[in-house]
Structure 1
Amino acid sequence: MATPTTAALRTGAQMPLLGLGTGPGSVGTWQTSTEPIYEAVKAAIDVGYRHIDTAESYADEKAVGRALREKIGSAVQRKDLFITSKLWNTRHHPDDVLPACQRSLTDLGLDYLDLYLMHFPVAWVRGEVYYPKDENGRAILCTPDVHFMDTWKAMESLVDAGLVKAIGVSNFNISQMEEVLTNGRIKPAVNQVESHPYLVCSRLLKCAADNEVVITAFCPLGRPGEANKHGITPLQDPKVISIAEKHKKTPAQVCLRWQVQRGVVVVPRSITPARILENSQIFDFELSTEEMETISRLNKDARITKFGMCDDHPQWPFSGDF
């Protein structure tokens, strides 16, 4: 039986289980140069990736767009690509949603997005500063506050206009996702959250499966380049290493394979062509039920991305269940 390479969205679209993640988490120099991500996207498409995950707040959509323009029509057709972008926290006001989406489309050089996610459930002050902070380092919130359901309604209009094929959320806990499922005219197709062997999110995964929501995992390798910073190192876990040795695979490939076998989409970030290729080589082996359970039992609820600068907001998601 062939190993699935896509997840079915409620829209009927097929979302590749593997995508290239972009953004500042991959390398700390992208704030001054986006050339590495331009090269990474081209390299990924050349070795078979058809899913690219980006966001306005990554400040790299123009670079991604350059790469896409070079590859679409030669190496690949637009219809065969799945492009995801995200609405940032400073764009939650309903009047800002359409312009934000149009800006991303322009920068990416596209007529439509396959998926557009609300990046975070908390609205920050409107404006062009991606991380607006006060003198104490706290996020400056939108005043008056904008609830994420008001933002969601504006995102639904993007589907109506044909600018996006599907909409979803990111960093939403179970109760927040259920609120959108209950009250949204269009149901969320995806919830993108941090997940790796030390942050399994089993409750969220079950709730999502029960409601036809696909889960995408960002940081699926636990950001190994920042291991000394956060101390979350699933790639160095002895049990992961042992399973990798058995299959003659790398620990990274095992962590990614564990996710896709759970039906979770993965968007590992890399700018290194060899790593980009390595991360794609996860569909030619299978983990046993016992190996899947062994990895799942490594859970420590160890979260890297916390948006702690707004942890006193009632919609801050990480006080709820995932």
Structure 2
Amino acid sequence: MAMLRAQLRTGGSMPLLGLGTWAALEGECCKAVKTALDLGYRHIDTAEIYLNEREIGQALTEKMGEGVKREDLFIVTKLFETRHHPDDVLPACQNSLQKLGLDYLDLYLMHWPYASKRGDNLHPVDENGQRAYGDTHYLDTWKAMEKLVDAGLVKAIGLSNFNISQMEEILTNGRIKPAVNQVESHPYLTCNRLLKYCTEKGIVMTAYCPLGAPGVHGSDYTSALNDPIIKTIGDKYGKSAAQVCLRWQVQRGVVVIPKSSNPSRLKENSQIFDFELSEEDMAAVNDLNRDARILKKEEYQRHPHWPFGEPF
């Protein structure tokens, strides 16, 4: 498939469509990655906390053995919040590389602006059973990540779940400017303010949960896939609601990483480059915004670096 790309400030580029692997079931992830690569996907997104880097590495090794070129792949993983101390950044990156079976990463993201207690326990708690916070400032973490670029271990570094004020601090004080900020974004959480800022600063925005979160219960959120306006727009173009949601993002210049292990959905999600939404339809999707955030991370609300205290 013809895969359009977003230009990065590094001079490189990344495919506008990637495969998200958060919450991919054990055993399914390897198969999903191989299916995606067979369909033409070249951008795979993971993280240490997803606990699937080794499985993804197995899929990559197998497909590269069948002729997929490493230089055509765009592999993203993330530094977890328990690894924010500057001394932990290099070992964490090396550990991810080893699991993925790679010599370098195309993009390494700081997963969250806040730090948790250092150590190998990815879910540390304090004596009260509450999340155990760390006190490392994300700027110190960023400066350690810059050294990964110097060492050739990563091609680009970026952020995830950072608000505008936090991004501004990195841009002002960092030596290397972030290439990407990956955030939750879908028709009910358009992040127009953040996208405008990123565009002005030469940062690519990546949207996770770009379809909302079908199947998430117990929240005030309804899946965008069931929205009558999106369905009507889809009917107009002979496309599904999912394809409309994804097309709307890439047409805004936003990279999307929908997650699926279903081969037919993987194929459907990739078929978004053969149509274009009209200005009127783009505006109609934009107007659906209700600032409905799925991933609120309220257990970190007391942390000084919790990002959701200001609008996105």
1:224 aligned counterpart, secondary structure:
coil
1:72 aligned counterpart, secondary structure:
helix
Contact 2:185–2:210 (8 Å) recurs in 1 = yes
* Matching residue within 107, 118, 139 for 2:110: 118
Counting only pairs closer than 5 Å after superposition, residues 1-322 of structure 1 correspond to structure 2 as: 5-24=4-23, 26=24, 30=25, 34-134=26-126, 137-142=129-134, 145-226=135-216, 229=219, 231-322=221-312
Deviation at 1:132, TM superposition (A): 1.6
Deviation at 1:136, TM superposition (A): 5.0
Matches of 1:92 and 1:185, distance apart in 2: 18
Deviation at 1:152, TM superposition (A): 0.2
The AA in structure 1 aligned to 2:273 is F
What TM-score does the superposition give when structure 1 sets the normalisation length?
0.94
The AA in structure 2 aligned to 1:116 is Y
The AA in structure 2 aligned to 1:255 is C
The AA in structure 2 aligned to 1:195 is S
How many residue pairs match? The answer is 311
1:154 aligned counterpart, secondary structure:
helix
The runs of at least 4 consecutive aligned structure 1 residues that moved more than 3 Å come to: 134-137, 227-230
| Residues 135 and 290 of structure 1, relative CA distance in 2, 3 Å threshold | farther
Q: What CA RMSD, in Å, does the superposition of the two structures yield over aligned residues?
A: 1.3
Deviation at 1:228, TM superposition (A): 6.0
Deviation at 1:230, TM superposition (A): 5.0
Matches of 2:57 and 2:213, distance apart in 1: 25
Deviation at 1:4, TM superposition (A): 7.0
Deviations 1:79-117, CA, capped at 9 Å, x for gaps: 000000000000000000000000000000000000000
What TM-score does the superposition give when structure 2 sets the normalisation length?
0.97
Deviation at 1:320, TM superposition (A): 1.5
1:107 aligned counterpart, secondary structure:
helix
The AA in structure 2 aligned to 1:13 is G
The share of aligned pairs that are identical, in percent, is 62
The AA in structure 1 aligned to 2:71 is K
Matches of 2:35 and 2:110, distance apart in 1: 28
Contact 2:113–2:162 (8 Å) recurs in 1 = yes
Contact 2:3–2:17 (8 Å) recurs in 1 = no
Contact 1:46–1:75 (8 Å) recurs in 2 = no
Deviations 1:154-188, CA, capped at 9 Å, x for gaps: 00000000000000000000111111111110000
Matches of 2:301 and 2:175, distance apart in 1: 29
1:15 aligned counterpart, secondary structure:
strand
Matches of 2:3 and 2:104, distance apart in 1: 26
2:216 aligned counterpart, secondary structure:
helix
Matches of 1:88 and 1:114, distance apart in 2: 17
Deviation at 1:306, TM superposition (A): 1.3
The AA in structure 2 aligned to 1:92 is H
Q: Which runs of 5+ in 2 are unaligned?
A: none
Q: Which runs of 5+ in 1 are unaligned?
A: none
